[in-house]
Amino acid sequence: MEAIESQILRHLSSSPSASLNTYTFSQSLPSEYGVTHSAVLGCAKSLAADSYVTTSSNKISYFQLTSEGTTIAKEGSQEAKCWNAIKAAGEAGLDKKALEAAVGSSVAKVGMGNCMKAKWISKNGDALVSTVSSITDTVQTHLNLVLSADEDTNGSVLPAKEFTLLKKRKLVKAVDRTSYDITRGPAYKLERKKKAADFTKEMLDSGAWETTEFKPYNFATVGEKVGGGYLHPLLKVRAEFRKILMQMGFSEMPTNKWVESSFWNFDTLFQPQSHPARDAHDTFFIKDPAQTVSVPEEYYKRVVKMHEEGGSGSIGYRYNFKEGDARKNLLRTHTTAVSSQMLYKLANQPGGFTPKRYFSIDRVFRNESMDATHLCEFHQVEGLVADYDLSLGDLIGTIETFFKKIGITQLRFKPAFNPYTEPSMEIFGYHPDLKKWTEIGNSGMFRPEMLAPMGLPENVRVIAWGLSLERPTMIKYRIKNIRDLFGHKVELARTKTAPVCRFD
Ligand code: PHE
């Protein structure tokens, strides 16, 4: 590249009006250099960009012989070959088979017809005989004329209609070539100096910046996009859910702690210590520290009593509560562990209980086998309302209001079981895309066995519900596999381009 550039500049140095044509120039270079016309064109464009040269483009059309045309230019046309063979056979002539044997079937196929048309031969029974004493092979002559003419001007060696004939027989083809005519430009110099794009420390140190030529700034150029950080689709949906719940008067629970004790995660929720969910197959237990150091003492005793003996109208589970099991640390399996702590605090705050609406949206962990719809961790949206004399109707109404705001208007409730709620209801929503009812959440009224040990007034009821954040996000963003939403296989580009989330 460099070398061609300086050769062009040297070429123009002979006189101010010196000029060259890129094509002619590229042809004049020894072929072993392997310099193509397009390489010369590239140099010319680059020089023109810095005004070293001025270019004007020059488009010409010329003819090139096809490979068949080249053969005919050398050996003669099919019709000439046929006539020669027939003529050589004398008065008896040749039948079609013999002609084909003499010149080849493809030559015979084209040549025979052309000979007839030119009236060089006629039919005598089955035989083809010559009717003239000599012929002129104009096709061959014309092709040679084109071949020997200067490429740039070969379009004028024959009348247009002759070219049309040759093109029809696919013996020549028209080619376009654009080249540049180059003359000196306003900034012409024999040597090209690359302009500097920026100041460097070295230029400043040596003082070279004073004589260095700099590229002008291009103020019209579009700036590079600034990647200012992007919200993951889950976080976009979370932000929207958060807004909806805040508008409904809920305040957010502090869920920024993933490790809990079994006490808060299970025992305070009246989940018996023999419950299968408390197995290592379902729950990730923490090895170090394996045990929690503190639980609220008085409350702990009341929880133990409720499990062992019951109270508030319940007969309890009637087993020996183990402190060791209660103190086991784990990765919380649900954010209900936090709800439990918040309700305990609410019952014991100075001045006593006041009605409250709480929500949280955060991560939970379950020791499950993973597939397209399950991971070991997911996000839970949890809501609860604690107030005097709430009923199941309040729960259904609150859930309906919330889901309506996220675009799910058709809901069904199915009786279910949770150790900590009674009654419990699974929430089903009609999915307009899938056209079917799908389970979207779980809900219920917290049991007296859970609320009484906390010290909540007897007629305070707590309604609560939970759902995953992943499911509505996958529906919203039409993501089929959960691994495309969360985890190490997620494509960053997807996060960068995911549209904003709106529910309205
Ligand atoms: N903790 C329940 C779950 O993990 C959700 C839930 C919350 C159910 C509150 C009832 C009440 O599925």
Quick check: 111 and 85 in contact, CB under 8 A?
no
Give residues with Cβ within 8 angstroms of 31, minimum separation 6: none
Enumerate domains of the chain plus CATH numbers: 2-62+174-184 (3.30.1370.240), 67-172 (no CATH), 234-257+332-497 (3.30.930.10)
Phi first, then psi, for residue 279 (nearest 5°) are -80, 150
466 CA from centroid of ligand 1 (Å): 5
Contacts of 283 (CB under 8 A, 6+ apart): 277, 330, 331, 333, 366, 367
Dist. CA 490–CA 487, nearest whole Å: 6
Amino acid at the residue 323? E
Residue with CA at minimum distance from ligand 1 atom 8: 443
Longest Cα separation, the chain: 133
- Residue 498: the pLDDT is 84
pLDDT at 373: 73
Q: Can you tell me which atom of ligand 1 is nearest the CA of 339?
A: 9
Q: From ligand 1's centre to the CA of 182, what distance in Å? A: 79
User: What is the pLDDT, as a whole number, of residue 431?
Assistant: 77
Query: What span, in angstroms and rounded, lies between the C-alpha atoms of 315 and 302?
Result: 14
Contact 277, 271 (CB under 8 A): yes
**Closest ligand 1 atom to Cα of 335:** 1
Instruction: Confirm or reject: Cβ of 353 under 6 Å from ligand 1.
Output: no
pTM of the model: 0.60
Whole-number Cα distances in Å, 9 to 43, 52, 68, 227, 399? 10, 8, 42, 43, 80
What does the pLDDT read at residue 2?
A: 56
How far is ligand 1, taken at its centre, from the CA of residue 39, in Å? 70
Pocket test for ligand 1, best of 333, 334, 340 (most atoms within 8 A of CB): 334
464 Cβ inside 6 Å of ligand 1: yes
Residue 443 CB less than 6 A away from ligand 1:
yes
| Residue-level pLDDT, tens digit, the chain, 504 residues | 458 888 899 999 999 999 999 998 988 888 888 889 999 999 999 999 889 999 999 898 899 999 999 999 999 999 999 999 999 998 889 999 999 999 999 999 999 999 999 999 999 899 999 999 999 999 999 999 999 988 778 888 999 999 999 999 999 999 999 999 999 999 999 988 888 888 999 999 999 999 988 888 888 989 888 877 888 889 999 999 999 999 999 999 999 999 999 999 999 999 999 998 898 889 999 999 999 999 999 999 999 999 999 999 999 999 999 999 999 999 999 999 999 999 999 999 999 999 999 999 999 999 988 777 778 999 999 999 999 999 999 999 999 999 999 888 899 999 999 999 999 999 998 877 778 888 889 999 999 999 999 999 999 999 999 999 998 888 778 888 888 888 888 888 888 888 888 876
Torsion sign, CA atoms 101, 107, 110, 112: negative
CA of 13 to the centre of ligand 1 (A): 86
Q: Under 8 Å CB-to-CB from 393, ≥6 apart: which residues?
A: none
CA distance 13 to 183: 10
3-class SS of residue 285: strand
Element (H, E) at 110: helix 105-117
Q: Residue 1: its pLDDT value, please?
A: 46
Q: Whose CA is nearest to atom 10 of ligand 1?
A: 443
As given in the structure block, the two tokens for residue 152 are 């740039």
466 within ligand 1 shell (Cβ under 6 A): yes
The rounded Å distance from CA 264 to ligand 1 centre is 14
* Amino acid 28: pLDDT: 87
Q: Does the beta carbon of 278 lie inside 6 Å of ligand 1?
A: no
- Rounded Cα distance, 489 and 387, in Å: 44
